[in-house]
Homo-oligomer: A and B are copies of this chain.
Amino acid sequence: MDDNPDIENELPERAYEMDANLVDNVLSFIETQDKNGLVTLFDQYHAADIADLFEQIDPTSRSALIQLWGKEIDGEVFAEMDEGLSGELIEEMSDELVSQVLKDLETDDVVDLVEDLEKSEQNRVIEVLDTTDQIAVLNSLKYPEGTAGRLMARELVMAPTHWSVGQAIDNLRKSKTLPQQFYDIIVIDPMSKPIGKIALSTLLRAQRSTQLVELIDEEFRTIPVLQSQEDVAYAFNQYNMVSAPVVDEENRLVGVITMDDAMEVLGDEADEDIKLLAGVGDESLTDTILVTVRQRFPWLGLNLITSIFASIVIAQFSSTIEAIVALAVLMPIVASMGGNAGTQTLTVAVRALATKDLTSANALRVIRREALVGLLNGLIFAIIIGFIGYYWYGFPMLGIVLAVAMILNLLMAGLAGILVPLVLDKFNLDPALGSSALVTTFTDVIGFFAFLGLAAAILL
């Protein structure tokens, strides 16, 4: 019973949030150059939390922290860090410190760490590795970025088809080169081709005399080494896989991908979609101000160009606006509603494409659906905005013009929101990339043109 208060303390309202105390303590250890205090404190935290700490403090403190930590440095922390940041820190570290970092890491983590470095810096880091690891890392780097070849680990647990459960377990006990954690044994034929896998939980429950082939999991999928990491993540998520063997063009086993890697990719991909839709690149809070300005500039520039398009449309109706200023007051409503409706459809479409729920098999049905949704919402809001326009300026025809423009724009918004990502996807472009700007330009242009054009035709 008296455990209760303790448990309450372990359950803060915000679980897992970096505590400000940790940050303060680390900063004061840096100030007093208290290395022992720092090492003792860090011992109580997971590498991922220390990586987060690095992301939370300013660049000067980061360098000072690396210096103070020195040879006690934990390489795992760099594997957990945002890639841009780990690269920056590696660049300012001595060869000695770099080798300290690398010796804690498995080769797939080293690949992750060096792949974004500049060529000369990459070479410096790789030279610090011992020869076996050098070869493994250089081999992985031969595969294109973003493929299974870069994700996979080369530490494998495999067994030939003719072994029994007992032989497999005895060999596991003897082996000295196993990965830290593994979940399956891959069964291979004499040509090194994987023919199935056995979950450790199955292996443990079987009798020692059972033959491995009898236990093979029938739901067995291999990952081609050149498959994109999005597809790898999709497969893990879709088929609830914990690990999967990676094979080369000749179907020979070359590596293994585990769920933690796939989970990271899955998170990254969703993150990328969100950010691309909002017109931000692969940016993080640790980027400097100038880097951020430079990253956001092209998207704002694109938006400037597209909004100038909309202005050119408005400019064609200058004399109409001069005659009825109410049009200038009301026109942003039509454009804004269209932009919003278009973004709704676009977002649903981009996510459905990412999860492969939207395919050529149902595209036509979805297009029709979005057009109808746009039309129906257009009708509803046409009635509302029609009355508002009428009462605001006491001018029934203005209400009717607003209403008709609203219907047209929401219908077109629905169509643009679904067609733009489908067309981008058809041409193998990322449907999230720039589609937001395209759709809102379209709805702005249609919105202003429909409203002002109708006004010019009917009201003047």
How far, in Å, is A8 (CB) from chain B's closest CB? 9
Q: CB of A167 within 8 A of chain B?
A: no
Contact of B201 with A183 in the complex, beta carbons under 8 Å: yes
Q: Does A99 contact B (CB under 8 A)?
A: no
Q: Is A7 touching B237 in the complex (CB atoms < 8 A)?
A: no
B205, B277, B300, B314: the one within 8 Å of A328 (CB): B314
Partner of A173, one of B16, B204, B333, B340: B204
Interface of A: prevailing SS: helix
State whether A234 touches B308 (Cβ < 8 A): no
Known: A204-B173, A280-B347, A322-B322. A16 touches B183 (CB 8 A): no
Does A78 reach chain B (CB closer than 8 Å)? no
Contact of A352 among B15, B285, B311, B336 (CB under 8 A): B285
Which of A30-38, A90-98, A117-125, A362-370 binds B?
Answer: A362-370
- Set of chain B residues within 8 Å of A297, measured between Cβ atoms: 377, 380
The bracket for how many chain A residues form the interface is: 35 or more
Asked if A438 is an interface residue, CB under 8 A from chain B, the answer is: no
What is the bound-complex CA distance between A307 and B443, given in angstroms? 15
Per-residue CB contact flags for chain A residues 199-212 toward chain B (1 = under 8 Å, else 0) read: 11101111100000
Q: A347's contact among B49, B238, B275, by CB below 8 Å, is which?
A: B275
B residues near A380, Cβ cutoff 8 Å: 293, 297
Query: Are B362 and A250 in contact, with the CB atoms below 8 A?
Result: no
Contact A310 B325 (CB under 8 A): no
- B285 touching A381 by the CB < 8 A rule? no
Contact, CB under 8 Å: A56 / B173: no
- Given A224-B10, A311-B333, A314-B332, A239 and B46 contact (CB-CB distance below 8 Å): yes
CB-defined A-B contacts under 8 Å, sample of 18: A10-B224, A11-B224, A15-B227, A15-B228, A23-B361, A56-B359, A183-B201, A183-B242, A200-B200, A237-B264, A263-B266, A267-B270, A280-B344, A285-B348, A285-B352, A285-B357, A300-B377, A306-B336
Interface, chain A (partner B; CB < 8 A): 3-4, 7, 10-11, 13, 15-20, 23, 46, 48-49, 52, 55-58, 169, 172-173, 175, 178, 181-183, 199-201, 203-207, 219, 224, 226-228, 231, 234-240, 242, 249-251, 259-260, 262-264, 266-267, 270-271, 273-275, 277-280, 283-285, 289-290, 292-293, 296-297, 299-300, 303-304, 306-308, 310-311, 314-315, 318-319, 321-322, 325-333, 335-337, 340-341, 343-344, 346-348, 350-352, 356-362, 365-366, 369, 372-373, 376-377, 380-381, 384-385, 388, 428, 444, 448
